[in-house]
Chains A and B, each alone.
Chain A
């Protein structure tokens, strides 16, 4: 490894990998420091969806932009990334939720995201395993699912093809004012240091407004065709939106393997990675309410992961008060989706280019973030 780069990216999860890929593509000499395995953190634990979400207009802008970038990249991705344009169905259980479906439809349409409203019968035909009666759903055909660890590895490999250098197994002890000090005593200097450290970001930057948000997931054996689209209940956003309480929300995803990936749960203040059986149970009970046959399917593995959550559900992308330190973190449950747009906006910010969408909503300065030395 060299001792000096144009940019050093800390963290080779999906966001760090995307940033490294983008910056290397722009011709910068990039160093990447990953303390463990590529894509081994939240990237490995999460659902791998590429989904447009509308918690705020800034969120819809970022997810839509990033999804279009994924779409452009999709055909060039290797098979092991398993990019699958299965689409999402936002499920309305009753007439009140159908209002929400119509509201979303209008919003997505205005944002340029094609969607289709399905009535109860169309929904039953699209997904026969769902319980009846349900009121209907919003179909977002452009949404996709992928396998994140291989996506991260693919982006890192792409960066390395553009002269990026990866060092693994070393922890960054401090990173500011153009110098990153590693656990083995090495010091790397860089014009730009990018913290793409996810839920662990506060280790190096304790004042960042990032909290860990624990999630549970479970995957089944192979049942091809049981579910065809990603399925999400409309209550998902309420669950993701809450800043204080524990919650579960129905979210099931078909994988290319025919396995079903079942989520979702959110907890604050839970720092242990152990499975909480009562949360897992509630999550499964919620899922069975929508997919009655799910209870008979064989569950083979459950695990947890930690999302990096900010107070306004938007990531931190851009410069800090230290002119050498940039952030690309705080992506909560949208790390996979928004990784490519994050990388693009970060590069725009670094290189003083006009971004494709306004960057202001994601700037760290909105929280008056200080880069206190770790």
Chain B
């Protein structure tokens, strides 16, 4: 298995080391994960899957908890 994989975050390609979480990839790309109900940009908070601030749309599935997902080749991540 190659050590580096390529995924897209909001349409921009990002090359990351295998084993990186999607949340870490989003942060590395300088993107936010989601927009809150009152319009604030949000990123991960707890890093352990309980706060739900890291939710983003991954491969078309909204509300995916990105801190609990590993990056995969060709993954499409979109801030929600």
- Which A residues form the contact surface with B (CB < 8 A)? 221-223, 257, 296, 298
Of chain B, the residue at the smallest CB distance from A296 is B61
Interface contacts beyond A221-B63, A222-B37: sample of 4 additional A-B pairs, CB < 8 Å, sorted by A: A222-B63, A223-B62, A296-B61, A298-B63
Which residues in A have their C-beta under 8 angstroms from that of B37? 222, 257
* Those 6 A-B pairs whose CB atoms lie nearest each other, nearest first: A221-B63, A298-B63, A223-B62, A257-B37, A296-B61, A221-B62
Chain B residues closer than 8 Å to A222, beta-carbon distance? 37, 63
CB distance from A82 to the nearest CB of B (A): 13
A296 vs B63: C-alpha distance when bound (angstroms): 11
In the bound complex, residues from chain B placing their C-beta under 8 Å from that of A223 are 62
- List residues of B whose CB falls within 8 A of some A CB: 37, 61-63
Closest-by-CB residue of A relative to B37 is: A257
Chain B residues closer than 8 Å to A298, beta-carbon distance = 63
Least CB separation from B62: chain A residue: A223
Report the separation of the CA atoms of residues A223 and B61 in the bound assembly, to the nearest whole angstrom: 11
Alpha-carbon gap, A296 to B61, bound state (A)? 9
Most buried by B among A221, A223, A296, A298: A298
Name 8 A/B residue pairs within 8 A (Cβ), A-sorted.
A221-B62, A221-B63, A222-B37, A222-B63, A223-B62, A257-B37, A296-B61, A298-B63
- Which residues of A lie under 8 Å from residue B63 when comparing CB positions? 221-222, 298
Q: Which residues of B contact A296 (CB under 8 A)?
A: 61
Docked Cα-Cα span, A221 to B37, in Å, equals 12
Chain B residue contacts of A257, Cβ below 8 A: 37
Chain B nearest CB from A192 CB (Å) reads 43
- The smallest beta-carbon distance between A363 and chain B, in angstroms, is 46
What residues of A have a CB within 8 angstroms of the CB of B62 in the complex? Answer: 221, 223
Q: Which residue of A lies closest to B80 (CB)?
A: A222
B38 to chain A, nearest CB (A): 12
Q: In the complex, what's the smallest C-beta–C-beta distance from B44 to chain A, in angstroms?
A: 17
- In the complex the two chains form, what is the Cα distance from A257 to B36 in whole Å? 12
Chain A residue, CB-CB nearest to B55:
A221
Least CB distance, B39 to chain A, in whole angstroms: 14
What is the chain B residue whose CB lies nearest that of A221?
Answer: B63
In the assembled complex, the Cα of A96 lies from the Cα of B54 at a distance in Å of: 48
Least CB distance, A219 to chain B, in whole angstroms: 13
Q: Give the distance in Å from the alpha carbon of A96 to the alpha carbon of B57 in the complex.
A: 41
What separation, in Å, do the CA atoms of A221 and B62 have in the docked complex?
Answer: 10
Closest Cβ–Cβ distance, residue B34 to chain A (whole Å) = 10
B55 to nearest A CB, angstroms? 8
Q: Nearest chain B CB to A258's CB is how many angstroms away?
A: 9
Bound state CA distance, A223 and B57, in angstroms? 12
Which residues from chain B contact A221 at a C-beta distance below 8 Å? 62-63
Question: Closest chain A residue to B64 by CB distance?
Answer: A298
A298 to B, closest residue via Cβ:
B63
Residues of the A chain whose Cβ atoms lie less than 8 Å from the Cβ of B61 = 296
CA gap between A221 and B57 in the complex, in Å? 13
Complex CA distance for A223 and B62, rounded to whole angstroms: 9
Q: Could you tell me the distance between the alpha carbons of A298 and B63 in the complex, rounded to whole angstroms?
A: 8
| Cα(A298)–Cα(B80), bound, Å | 15
Give the docked Cα–Cα distance between A35 and B26 (Å): 49
Q: How far does the alpha carbon of A222 sit from the alpha carbon of B37 in the complex, in Å?
A: 10
Question: In chain B, what residue has the closest Cβ to A257?
Answer: B37
Query: Smallest distance from the beta carbon of A295 to chain B beta carbons, Å?
Result: 13
Query: Whole-angstrom distance between the alpha carbons of A51 and B28 in the complex?
Result: 50
What is the CB-to-nearest-CB distance from B2 to chain A, in angstroms, rounded to a whole number? 31
A296 CB to nearest chain B CB (Å): 8
**Residue ID in chain B nearest A220 by CB atoms:** B63
Q: How far is the CB of B7 from chain A (nearest CB, A)?
A: 22
What separation, in Å, do the CA atoms of A277 and B72 have in the docked complex? Answer: 35
A298 to B61, CA, bound (A): 10
C-alpha spacing A222/B62, complex, angstroms: 9
A78 to B59 CA separation, bound complex (whole angstroms): 39
